[in-house]
Amino acid sequence: MTRTARLLRASTAMALLSPLLTAAPALAQSATAQSPTGQSATTQAAPAAVPTYSMGAVTATADRTEKAAIDTTAPVSVRTSEELDRTMPSTVTDLLSGIPGVTAYQTAGQPGTKINIRGLQDFGRVNVMVDGARQNFQRSSHGQNTTVFIDPDLIGQVDVVRGPSAVVYGSGAIGGIVNFQTKDAKDLLRKGQTFGGQVTGIYGDNSAERRGAISGYAVADWADVVASVSGSDRGNFKGGDGKKIDASGWESTSAFGKITLTPNDDHQLRLSALRSTFDYTAGTGATADKLETDTDTFTLRHRFTPESTRLVDLTTNLTYSETDQNETRVGTTSNGRKTQVKVTTPGIDIFNTSRFETGSVGHALTIGGDAFHDEVTATRGTGALEFTPGGNRTIAGAYVQDEVALTERLSLIGAVRFDSYEMESETLSAEDTALSPKVTLGYTVVPGVQVYGSWAQAFRAPSITETLISGTHPAPAPFRFVPNPGLRPETAENLEMGTNVKFGDVLMPRDRLQWKTSVYQSEVEDYINQYFNMVRSGGTVNYAASTYGYRNEAEVTLRGVESEVVYDAGFAYAGLTLTNARGKNNLTGKKLTSGLGSRASLTLGVRDRSNGLDGGWKMDGRLGLEDAHASDDGAQAGGYLLHGLYVGYTPPELDDRLTLRVSVDNLFDTEYRDRLKADSLEQGRTIKAGGTIRF
């Protein structure tokens, strides 16, 4: 056993043995949720002196009905703005750090992020959204595939649903859902304010990172308005060995606006617009490329909740997202060559929840449907882009779900979803349909302890690239790309058991403990995987006869355990998340490595509210990377253990007008990798200092 493995397992064991350590930063008070019977089911709120809790934060991502994450009979995690702000996240990877079952990857110098849940990623297996708008950009190339481009400075909450349990939230998400929610004015206003503004600046020493944002916001009885502009500039960073990584920096700018109108108790209308631009360089020397990626996201959401009836709670969400990536070759090979990939995705999502009783049984019946259309344009020079074909894809679905309160202790969720898809290019087309059911049974053993079991199926239509890829790879390896219009959709079947535990006054008066755990096994049939059929003639590769494409393979099995615990005593808090995930290809028997292995994240913090102090220590560790990396350069490819520190200071005499923060990531300058290929080292020790002025 390596030293890293011993340290990680020892740290994890210590955390599990101590109730003070088995907890996490808790940031959101348990909110009043509407039970299926229509009666107000109010969870016990923490006193004002105690912060709110992340697992108590309200989310509707899993079931469409608003409830606290700890009360959701699904593997859900929520990160709130207070929790995110502590360590001044620079990337989407930072936003998702420590969430069980989730791995986020970024290639050095690539602001786009690949998100993996429970070993599944790429081509929509994880449905990534901003305010409910799908982010479907996909470009296949050496070492990259599906990536999302999001400015972390604009995100106020992150909701994650793991596995194919959210039947009501869109097609294709057999891995799970990540919904990034942008900030509202109420997230930014100081106590007692109705309008204001703030300026934030952050500096990171490792890459000379400079970030800044200016925001203005206002609220009234009928309106909530926020507008923000932000920018960042980071140079090449240094790995844990102290050496700079070429082409690892980027620049970005963003503009964001949101207005929420509530003219009366029946109607709410929200309009948001977000635009970000990322400039960066990929590669060096003869293959260097200059890239600019522009992203636009627009949403228009209307909610109708007439007080006169409980049968109508109607939400309509119109969305539009566009990612336009332009690349120019600046090296000596094909100097000046232009490449463009543009993906536009308009969508609609409409659903209604009716609350009623049949005898003593309460119901929350949700009926809805959604649809989106991907249009992909991909060119290189004057022709098609070899790895990423252009084309169109339309996916539409409808569903019905009933949340049933059978008794005070026993609940049932039954749902079924129907999906259809069709896609086409200039020469090929494909279409299919699928039905996806779900059943979840929850039982409250004693007050504060709930167990649940769930069985769900989900469906993912093949992507445009997987189905329609065609053409010839550029020299010196001119093998052929072969389309496969006969690709069958992937279907996932998931069995899950979980527990939700929440107690107060555990170790001392007014403290809170919340613990959410799940055990799962997923079988993915007709798993779509790439192949390369290399043909040799006389000991040499015959590229003209070799082919590359995508095909259905036999079943893939994924299984694991995830646990998330939070504890808060007001003056101190702590947290632990654990993940143990494994997977294999049942056809070949080969185990999967993508996003799997064992991970742990531990946080210990203290706060002194009277003096405006909040600080702590974080540990992140991972095992099970042996098959993903080579370690001949001294990097800890088989696993790693990282440490970090953070502290925030809000002088009470300034009435929350100023917050200063300092954090240290990778405290001991550890050499490690967190990606699937033997790429560059991850960032070494980084000291960040930042401040926010509110007025």
pTM passes above 0.85: yes
Tokens of 591: 């185990």
Residue 584 has a CB neighbour count (10 Å cut-off) of: 17
Residues in the chain predicted with pLDDT less than 70, given as ranges, are: 1-55, 142-144, 166, 593, 625-638, 675-679
Alpha-carbon distance of 419 to 397, in angstroms, equals: 4
Alpha-carbon distance of 544 to 610, in angstroms, equals: 73
Alpha-carbon distance of 105 to 119, in angstroms, equals: 12
Paired with 566 in beta bridges are 514, 575
pLDDT in tens, 530-573: 888 999 888 888 888 899 999 998 889 999 999 999 999 999 99
Residue 439 has a CB neighbour count (10 Å cut-off) of: 13
Residue 3 lies in a domain: no
Bridge-based pairing state of the strands 556-568 and 572-585: antiparallel
Residue 522 lies in a domain: yes
Alpha-carbon distance of 156 to 183, in angstroms, equals: 4
Paired with 231 in beta bridges are 212, 253
- Collapsing DSSP to helix, strand or coil, 495 comes out as strand
Burial category of 613 from C-beta neighbours within 10 Å (exposed 0-12, middle 13-18, buried 19 and up): middle
- Collapsing DSSP to helix, strand or coil, 194 comes out as coil
Alpha-carbon distance of 180 to 272, in angstroms, equals: 13
Query: Which own/partner contact pairs does 215-222 have at CB distance under 8 Å and 24+ positions apart?
Result: 215/183, 215/188, 217/185, 217/188, 217/189, 218/185, 218/194, 219/185, 219/186, 219/189, 219/194, 219/195, 220/194, 221/262, 222/261, 222/262, 222/263
Please choose, from the candidates 143, 87, 82, the residue with its C-alpha nearest in 3D space to the C-alpha of residue 112: 143
pLDDT in tens, 228-260: 999 999 999 999 999 999 889 999 999 999 999
The angle formed by the CA atoms of residues 450, 452 and 453, to the nearest 5 degrees, is 170
Give the gyration radius of the chain's Cα atoms: 25
Alpha-carbon distance of 205 to 685, in angstroms, equals: 9
CA distances from 266 to 269, 312, 369, 404 (A): 10, 10, 22, 25
Q: Per the structure, how many domains does the chain have?
A: 1
Residue 69 lies in a domain: yes
Give me the CATH number covering residue 657.
2.40.170.20
Please choose, from the candidates 457, 556, 443, 458, the residue with its C-alpha nearest in 3D space to the C-alpha of residue 497: 443
Residue 633 lies in a domain: yes
CA distances from 520 to 80, 180, 435, 559 (A): 26, 25, 21, 6
Q: Which residue range forms the structural domain that includes residue 342?
A: 8-240+249-694
Residue 4 is predicted with a pLDDT of 40
Residue 1 lies in a domain: no
CA distances from 562 to 82, 119, 525 (A): 23, 13, 23
Please choose, from the candidates 75, 248, 271, 270, the residue with its C-alpha nearest in 3D space to the C-alpha of residue 160: 75
Residue 2 lies in a domain: no
Number of H helices, E strands in the chain: 4, 42
Task: Tell whether the torsion through CA atoms of 57, 62, 270 and 154 is positive or negative.
Answer: positive
